[in-house]
Amino acid sequence: MTTDKGTRLDLTMVGDWGTANFHTIWGWVSAHLRWRSAPLSRFTIRTGSAYRDSIDLVGMGEADLSVTTPTHIGVRWAREGLHFYAGRAYPNLRTLGHLPQDDRLTFAVRADAGVRSFADIREKKPKLHIAMPPRQDDCLCSYVIDLIWRAHGIDPMDIVAWGGSYYEHENPRATLKAAQAGVCNAVFNEAIMVSNWTDLVEQQDMVFLPIEPEAMKTLVEVYGLRPAVLEKGRHRNPVDVPCLDWSNWAILCRDDMPEEVAYRVTAVMVEERAEFEGRFRHMPVHQSPLTYPIDPKRMPHGVDLPLHPGAERYYREHGYLA
């Protein structure tokens, strides 16, 4: 990796499974880096889960940049070696800022299942066939879902013991399509803005289950998760529904990235943001994965990691960071 602007760069970036937003981010960034760098610069985009491997590969030095979501618990746990990242602390993680996404982690059950609350699940032990992210050790989202179950006094495997099942897929759209097709009668997932959520609640009467106050207290105070609400009417829900925040895309690097390289990548994300926004502006903002417009004054804030000095210098020099 070289440090002088205009010389050749060799950067490896970790995206998602290959067809979603994180790959789009790195395609956009690498195109503009190529135009700002010497010929024969190399930009490699790796597939991944968008969770553990995105952080592991950067932290271990096998990749230079990655994206993950949300911008709080996952990166903080990784830096401190806690919970999902127990035994694998990466104090060398830094951030170049974030791109905005307004998201929630929610649990919705078909109304005809007769469930209106987590208390109903504890008492009725219903047969729930739940579409969700993979219940594997590389998936932060399913790890947090299990924390939610346990905070409500339910073991995740109780669902199976009561005759239910889990339908698992990395792509949230695939899980929602399983619910739309009637394969599942519940969805526990994020990506609340995608059109499949809208389609699902229009096709079927769904009940969004609120996280109970004592469970929320545990999730916030013990684990540092951020509370949120699914706003009344967003998905035909008649009231605000307490849930968890799953917002924003954190851009990650290491502390040993040369300052000029971090500066150059940050410059691309800020100065070429209109092109990236253009990929989403055909959608209403409440249904867009990217919450446009991108505000450079907000980009440096909200990620639970220190800003890389190169990114900090860029934001300060251009008046985006006081």
Q: What is the CATH number of the domain that holds 192?
A: 3.40.190.10
Residue 2 inside a domain? The answer is: no
Q: Cα separation of 130 and 122, whole Å?
A: 16
pTM, full prediction = 0.94
Residue that finishes a domain, picked among 187, 214, 245: 245
User: 1 pLDDT exceeds 80?
Assistant: no
Q: Cα separation of 256 and 6, whole Å?
A: 20
**What pLDDT, in 10s, does the model give residues 66-98?**
999 999 998 999 999 999 999 889 999 999 999
Considering its fold, how many domains does the chain have in total?
2
Distances (CA, A) of 256 to 11, 58, 59, 73, 311: 13, 11, 11, 23, 13
Are 193 and 286 spatial neighbours (Cβ–Cβ below 8 Å)?
yes
Residue 1 inside a domain? The answer is: no
- Please report which confidence band the pLDDT of residue 48 belongs to, taking 50, 70 and 90 as the band edges: confident
Are 312 and 83 spatial neighbours (Cβ–Cβ below 8 Å)?
no
The alpha carbons of the chain give a radius of gyration, in whole angstroms, of 20
One domain, residues 78 and 55 = yes
Residue 309 inside a domain? The answer is: yes
Residue 146 inside a domain? The answer is: yes
Residue 322 inside a domain? The answer is: no
Are 172 and 134 spatial neighbours (Cβ–Cβ below 8 Å)?
no
One domain, residues 86 and 109 = no
Q: What is the mean pLDDT of residues 23-41?
A: 95
Give the dihedral sign, CA 231/235/238/244.
negative
User: 113 pLDDT exceeds 60?
Assistant: yes
One domain, residues 182 and 170 = yes
**Beta bridge mates, 307:** 95
Residue 51 inside a domain? The answer is: yes
Are 59 and 90 spatial neighbours (Cβ–Cβ below 8 Å)?
yes
Q: Which domain holds residue 165?
A: 104-245
Are 131 and 178 spatial neighbours (Cβ–Cβ below 8 Å)?
yes
One domain, residues 205 and 257 = no
Residue that finishes a domain, picked among 222, 245, 268: 245
One domain, residues 39 and 156 = no
One domain, residues 65 and 118 = no
User: 175 pLDDT exceeds 80?
Assistant: yes
Residue 165 inside a domain? The answer is: yes
Q: What's the pLDDT score for residue 2? A: 41
One domain, residues 126 and 230 = yes
Give the dihedral sign, CA 313/316/319/320.
positive
Distance of CA 146 to the CA centre of its chain: 17
Q: What's the pLDDT score for residue 5? A: 57
- Please report which confidence band the pLDDT of residue 322 belongs to, taking 50, 70 and 90 as the band edges: confident
Residue 4 inside a domain? The answer is: no
One domain, residues 113 and 225 = yes
One domain, residues 78 and 24 = yes
Q: What's the pLDDT score for residue 49? A: 82
Tokens of 15: 């995206």
**What pLDDT, in 10s, does the model give residues 180-229?**
999 999 999 999 998 999 999 999 999 999 999 999 999 999 999 999 99
One domain, residues 210 and 120 = yes
One domain, residues 148 and 225 = yes
Q: Cα separation of 255 and 269, whole Å?
A: 19
Query: Count of CB atoms within 10 A of residue 4's CB?
Result: 11
- Please report which confidence band the pLDDT of residue 3 belongs to, taking 50, 70 and 90 as the band edges: very low
Q: What is the mean pLDDT of residues 115-121?
A: 97
One domain, residues 131 and 150 = yes
Residue that finishes a domain, picked among 198, 228, 245: 245
User: 34 pLDDT exceeds 50?
Assistant: yes
